Chain A
Amino acid sequence: MNTLVTCKELTKTYGSKTALNHVSFEIESGHIIGLLGPNGSGKTTFIKLLNGLLTPTSGELYVKKLPVGIESKKIISYLPDQTYLNMNNTVKEVLDYFHAFYADFDMERACQMLDSLHISPKDRLKAMSKGTKEKVQLILVMSRRAELYVLDEPIAGVDPAARDYILQTILTNYDPDASILISTHLISDIENILDQVIFIKEGEIFLQASVDDIRMQHQKSIDALFREVFK
């Protein structure tokens, strides 16, 4: 196992509010990790720091032993918690855009996934429903042969059928040597696919353990433990 992400004493403050407080942990390759915590616990802040969209107040953050930068962006495939595509574009245009900028983008895989959803490359994004836009965005992200997939709330705000599709897409399209970091507070929907969990509470790491260890030690599901910790 290789260490993909290392953060040491990572702190991020917004004015007087501390979003992350001296957080230290590592993420290794080959795992599906749930970054779990209630709203406002610091999950999205960490993910944005990892993607270079925010800068830390203090501490260190490395991806494959390199600071966040061009090299880390080459190996991280990021799905934000909002739509980040140009809505005036067609699906083909966004496919071409990803293909142009990401060397690991698998066009064939993307086209297959779009085809299975009956989404035409000629369709314009602004004409699509919210759920379809999210699926297109997920397809773009999962069509990269990245080393780390960072998915911020991928199943929030979608119907149960779409959730199933999203989880299935994630599971069937990632390289086993890669890692997936999924941020969510909808534990019950995703706990079956997780290898590890990181509980984040008020900007601090409350727990980092494998799902099997938690079930053995606590004799309860991740969802039940989450509800106990964050009640």
Chain B
Amino acid sequence: MIGKLIKYEFKHTSKTMFTTWIVLAAATLMGSLALYRLDQGNHSDTTFSVVMNVIMLVLYIIALIGIFYVDFIYLCYHYHKTMYSSQGYLTHTLPLSPAAAFSVKIFAFFIWMLASSVLLVISVLVLLNVGSGGEFFSTISTFMWDEFIQSVNELFGISAPFLIFIFIADTFLGILWRILWVTASMAIGQLFQSGRTGFSILAGFCIYMVNQIVNTIFLAASGYNLTAFLDGARKNLIRHILGGSMIISAVMLIALYGICVYINKKRLNLE
């Protein structure tokens, strides 16, 4: 049953998601073309063509940022519509536990956003490659990895693979955090009889503030200050902060997930 719900969840959202990715592909092509022409620029170029290339590059950057937010907002809208609005009547009367229905929606949301993020990175890499006259990828392959590993170790006191792991894990946690932040806000907002949008926004603000306060307290407790950092005590500090931040993020995610499941199971309010 869960497998079927996953299938339908992806099916119902795929059209819009693929459309935004096609737009991203077109924007990447446009940006690459503009960058290539600027890179290959010669004296015969008119001011008009230079301006056009710059405009195309600006449009590419707008599209790059815009698509990420469009995808996120669309998936938030889809989540709300199928959980707390008209289609919620169907979702919540399927023979599934509320936790299963919620988890499937979060899973699909996460996979789509992860895929969007990866495609955005690929788009930037393609542009960098074009901008460098096709040398970017060949430079990567001859990159001085030994020097990089040594530098990372000297600077942060951690191995390069661990830094890459932290970066990837942080990306995953960051995407999940945004999703659960929004879904928990919606879940809390729907507990109220009226002004649900307003209460959802207020709940979102409160969750954000709690996260900020917890992180600030943790940084203060870690003894983080700029003087110590500049004095060379950064190795332990960074290890400490990286590990601690991830633990805090994980705890916050579990708490938000718990809030969502509890409300959908025990306090559902589809008036």
CB distance from B267 to the nearest CB of A (A): 6
A70 to B1, CA, bound (A): 12
Docked complex: B81-102 residues within 8 A CB-CB of A: 86-90, 92-97
A74 to B266, CA, bound (A): 19
| Nearest neighbor of A94 in chain B, beta-carbon distance | B90
Q: Is the CB of A86 within 8 A of B89?
A: no
Given the complex, which residues of B lie within 8 Å of A71, measured CB to CB?
95
Given the complex, which residues of A lie within 8 Å of B111, measured CB to CB?
none
> A82: which of B5, B89, B92, B96 is its contact (CB, 8 Å)?
B89
CB distance from B222 to the nearest CB of A (A): 42
Mark each residue of chain B from 8 to 24: 1 if its CB lies under 8 Å from any CB of chain A, else 0. 10001001000000000
Binding site for A on B (CB under 8 A): 1, 4-5, 8, 12, 15, 86-90, 92-97, 193, 266-271
Given the complex, which residues of B lie within 8 Å of A83, measured CB to CB?
86
CB distance from B12 to the nearest CB of A (A): 6
Given the complex, which residues of A lie within 8 Å of B94, measured CB to CB?
73, 101
Task: Tell me if A38 is interfacial: C-beta within 8 Å of chain B.
Answer: no
Q: Is the CB of A51 within 8 A of B87?
A: no
> B93: which of A78, A86, A100 is its contact (CB, 8 Å)?
A78
Given the complex, which residues of B lie within 8 Å of A51, measured CB to CB?
92-93
Given the complex, which residues of A lie within 8 Å of B1, measured CB to CB?
101
Task: Tell me if A121 is interfacial: C-beta within 8 Å of chain B.
Answer: no
A-B contact pairs, 19 of them (CB 8 A): A14-B193, A14-B271, A51-B93, A53-B89, A53-B270, A54-B268, A55-B266, A69-B97, A70-B97, A73-B95, A73-B96, A80-B89, A84-B86, A84-B88, A85-B87, A97-B8, A101-B4, A101-B5, A101-B95
Grouping DSSP codes into helix (H, G, I), strand (E, B) and loop, the B interface class, with mixed when no group exceeds half, is loop
Task: Tell me if A160 is interfacial: C-beta within 8 Å of chain B.
Answer: no
CB distance from B228 to the nearest CB of A (A): 51
In the complex with contacts A84-B89, A85-B87, A70-B95 CB distance below 8 A: yes
A82 to B87, CA, bound (A): 10
Q: Is the CB of B8 within 8 A of A54?
A: no
Q: Is the CB of B268 within 8 A of A85?
A: no
Q: Is the CB of B96 within 8 A of A70?
A: yes
CB distance from A186 to the nearest CB of B (A): 21
Q: Is the CB of B270 within 8 A of A84?
A: no
CB distance from B195 to the nearest CB of A (A): 12
CB distance from A119 to the nearest CB of B (A): 19
